[in-house]
Each structure stands twice: as C-alpha cells, then as structure tokens.
Amino acid sequence: MSKQFDVVVIGGGPGGYIAAIRAAQLGFNTACIDEWKNDKGGPAPGGTCTNVGCIPSKALLQSSEHFEHAGHGFADHGIAMNDLKIDIAKMVGRKDTVVKQNNDGILYLFKKNKVTFFHGRGSFVAAKDGGYELKVAGAAEETITAKHVIVATGSNARQLPGAPFDETNILSNDGALRIPAVPKKLGVIGSGVIGLEMGSVWRRLGADVTILEALPAFLGAADESVAKEAAKVFKKQGLNIELGVKISSVENGKDGVAVKYTDAKGAEQTLAVDKLIVSIGRVANTIGLNPEAVGLKLDERGAIVVDDECKTNLPNVWAVGDVVRGPMLAHKAEEEGVAVAERIAGQHGHVNFNTIPWVIYTSPEIAWVGRTEQQLKADGVAYKAGQFPFLANGRARALGDTTGFVKFLADAKTDEILGVHIIGPMASELISEAVVAMEFKASAEDIARICHAHPSLSEATKEAALAVDKRTLNF
C-alpha cells in the first residue's frame, strides 16, 4: 500500500520547506519532496534560494566586500595592507560550505518537526479518493497519496533567445556563482537585482563589468530618487551600465562571448567579454510536475494560476512562491507557505502584499517597502515626503559609510506611512522597522517619537520621519 499523508509539499525551497514545517507543527502527517542534488548526488533542500540564489550570492557579496574594504577602505582607518591577494577557489569553497550548512539545517529541521523527506522528483499521477496520487522518482521510485498538495516548484533563469546557458561562458545565476577565476571582462545582460548583485561581486574582485539593460530607465521598480542615487554611486564605483539597448546577437566562441547590440542612440555596438551573465528575469518552473494528469491550470507564462489565498483550480491543491504570481522573493514564498498550511488547518493565514520588503544587496544596499513617490503620484494620493542623509548620521560617519539616505512617504492628511525607501549602509536591516511600522499602520509621527539608540544608523530612520514634518534635529 502506498504511503499516505495529510499534506505533501512538492519542492523544498523557502516556500516548500517552510510550508512543510508549519503543516507538521499544526499536526498534519506531512511529507516534502525535493529533487535538488549536491555535487555528490545527495539531497540539497533549500531550493534556488539556498543553492544558487539568496544564500550563496550573499556569501560572495560579503567576501568581495571584505576584499574591496581591504584594498580601498582600510587605509582611512590607518590599516595598511600590502600585497593584497584573493584566492577565488577558497572564496567559492567558503560559499559552498555556507550552502551546505543551510542544506543540512533544513534536513535537521525536517527531522525535528517529523516531516518525511523524499529526495527525488514529485509528479501528479491522478486524483484519487478525494485526494491525489503522486509519484516520487528518485533513487527509489514510489507512489504516495496526499489529502492536500502544496506545489512549490520555484523558478528557473530565463534564457536569452539564441544564447543558451552553457554555464562556462554564458552564465545563469548558477554559473555566475562559481566563476573559477576573476574574468578580465564580464558582461551582464539585465540591470535587475541579479545583474547588480553579481556585477558588484565580480567588479569588486577586479573584473571590468558592463551591464546592458533594455529599459531606458534604471531600476524602474525603485523610488526614482533612490534609483538616481544608485546610478550615480555605481558609476563612480566603475560599474558601466548602458540603458536602452537592444541585443541583436550573442556569439559564444572559444575566446569568449561577443554581444552585438544597438545602443540607446541607435548605433550598432559589439561588447566582447570573457564571460556573460544573463539575468533577464526568471520563469515559473513546472518541469516534470505533470500538471496535465490532474488538470492543474497554468497561465500563458507557465505559472500556476492561484487566487489570493494560493488556491489553484483544483480542490486541496495549493501553490506558493516563485511558481505563482507576485514578486519572486524568498520571504514572499515563505509567508505564502505558512499561510497555506494555516488555511489547510482552518486558520486564517494571511500575506500582506503591501508590506513585502525589497532589498538589493549592493554597496550601498537598497531597500524599500510600500509605494514609491512615482506610484503615489500615479495613484493620485496626496503625500508628504521626508528625507535624511547618512552624511548627517554619527554612526555612518564612524563607519566611514555615509552614502545615501532614508526617505519617508506619508499620507498628507493622516500621516500614515505609505512607503519607506533606503539607500545606504545596512539598509537590509533598517527596512524592518519600516515594515513593522507599516504593518501596524503607524504614522511618520509614531516613528519620530520613538527613542532610537545612539549612535545608530536607525537614527537616520527617525530623522527621516521627523523630516516629513520638516523638523529634523541633526540636519
């Protein structure tokens, strides 16, 4: 007889493994199927995020930032560095260790929470007895049944037509995280989150990086003032970003890659590089899931169709994370996973899409939550803005990192915070205060009246809130 579960989660990325843990906590007999393999063929749960996404990219960002500080930043502190070297193999090895620690951590959490883990590919076989029959194809093949299925199969990098990833010269995020030596010239197509983060890593390590972007505006999703500041800083750092280009062809040769494109002025150009990262977005992944077997509905882009509660068109089949609509972010996937497990238990799981933070882990970091100034204008909302520069923050001066600012946008009448936009040191951490504030529908005045530790970067947040009412104390 096949093994029976209350809940089976297909996919063990942040959406899937978190959903499985929460379902098990709620008392369901739960299994999670994930097919990711480590280099020895063993299980490596954690999905894109853990294996080739959030975690390894942040490990390399940290290493490359240390290198840049040692080369350029330490001198100001009176620390002399002679003969600075970087061992790329060691740096990549450290990143791999960090990844493995996270893989092992998830396997431990499965054990702790009594989640049954299957290493292999999960697919739908048929709807059966009010539930679903699923096949697991791994080292051993087996059939299991589930009353509820949560699909969390994630996403894959989008390929540029005519330029398939070979992960040697033309790299997706996967190859971009394990380039064996610093390329002299690195090309990046797409100035989105991956392009900026991975471009920054390899620039800091010495590569001459050129990013080609199709859109005429830089970082269109960010607040315009943040995007403008970021463009200025990245240019100063030596990141070449060309906007408004149209790629005509990509030739992958023995000596590298030649990218032919039309620039914003309409002139034909060729960019010759040793390696090319293509980071032009990601596509939902349902490869091998066999959704047709049960009639699971996908949209025209291949994403699983879900409603606001992550319900699919099938009873008791749910989908979360990158494989459904909405931002492709690990924390969004996690929140959806928890909410679905709670809904299965008859609770009222909820994800507030208005307070999902965005972070770009460049230097300076960029982070925001809520609406941008241009969105508020487009929505016809009357608002007040307040901004405070890190240049006027004592802790930032002591750190030697005074680039950027915190910006508050608040409702003109009620003072409710509508958006917070940060470019500067530790923006990824500072944004949490804004998320909490917005979740509690706080006003700018609320933040302005809260005691913030001195000296701390968070004082810039308080001052930006004060700036909404034109009463900063330190600027």
Interface with ligand NAI by CB under 6 A: which residues? Answer: 160, 189-195, 197, 212-215, 247, 279-282, 327-329, 359-361
Which of 13/183 has CB closer to ligand FAD?
13
162 annotated as a binding-site residue: no
| Residue range at the interface with ligand FAD (CB under 6 A); choices 67-75, 119-127, 235-243, 247-255 | 119-127
The continuous run of DSSP H or E covering 389 comes out as: strand 383-389
Closest CB 56 distance from ligand FAD, rounded Å: 8
**Judged by CB under 6 A, does residue 331 bind ligand FAD?**
yes
Task: Name the residue number minimizing CB distance to ligand NAI.
Answer: 192
3-class SS of residue 204: helix
406 annotated as a binding-site residue: no
How, if at all, do strands 417-424 and 365-370 pair? antiparallel
Q: Which residue has the tokens 């209350």?
A: 6
| Site track for ligand FAD across 288-327, x = CB under 6 A | xx-------------------------------xxx----
Instruction: Using alpha carbons, select from 18, 57, 10 the residue that is nearest to residue 333.
Output: 18
58 annotated as a binding-site residue: yes
Which of 146/227 has CB closer to ligand NAI?
227
Strand partners, 146: 5, 132
**Judged by CB under 6 A, does residue 344 bind ligand FAD?**
no
The CA–CA distances, whole Å, from 245 to 188, 191, 208, 224, 436 equal 12, 11, 19, 20, 39
**Cβ atoms of residues 55 and 87 within 8 Å:** no
| Residue range at the interface with ligand FAD (CB under 6 A); choices 46-54, 66-74, 77-85, 381-389 | 46-54
Which of 331/343 has CB closer to ligand FAD?
331
Which of 195/419 has CB closer to ligand NAI?
195
**Cβ atoms of residues 196 and 364 within 8 Å:** no
Which of 212/369 has CB closer to ligand NAI?
212
**Judged by CB under 6 A, does residue 152 bind ligand FAD?**
yes
Which of 191/472 has CB closer to ligand NAI?
191
Closest CB 152 distance from ligand NAI, rounded Å: 15
- For residue 192, the partner it binds in ligand FAD, ligand NAI, none, with Cβ less than 5 to 8 A by kind, is ligand NAI
The CA–CA distances, whole Å, from 260 to 80, 238, 306, 432 equal 43, 22, 39, 42
Q: Is 77 a catalytic residue?
A: no
**Judged by CB under 6 A, does residue 335 bind ligand FAD?**
no
**Judged by CB under 6 A, does residue 365 bind ligand FAD?**
no
Which residues in 261-290 contact ligand FAD (CB under 6 A)?
285, 288-289
Q: Which residue has the tokens 């003109």?
A: 412
- For residue 154, the partner it binds in ligand FAD, ligand NAI, none, with Cβ less than 5 to 8 A by kind, is ligand FAD
Q: For the range 294-302, what are the long-range contacts, defined as Cβ-Cβ under 8 Å and sequence gap of 24 or more?
A: 294/124, 294/126, 294/127, 294/132, 296/124, 296/151, 299/325
Closest CB 163 distance from ligand NAI, rounded Å: 10
- What is the 8-class DSSP label of residue 61? H
- For residue 424, the partner it binds in ligand NAI, ligand FAD, none, with Cβ less than 5 to 8 A by kind, is none
Strand partners, 188: 211, 277
143 annotated as a binding-site residue: no
Q: Which residue has the tokens 């790299």?
A: 171
CA 396 to chain centre: 26
**Cβ atoms of residues 185 and 272 within 8 Å:** yes
The one among 9, 20, 30, 36 contacting ligand FAD by CB under 6 A:
36
- For residue 188, the partner it binds in ligand NAI, ligand FAD, none, with Cβ less than 5 to 8 A by kind, is none
CA dihedral for 82, 66, 224, 452, sign (positive or negative): negative
Residues labelled as active-site residues: 454
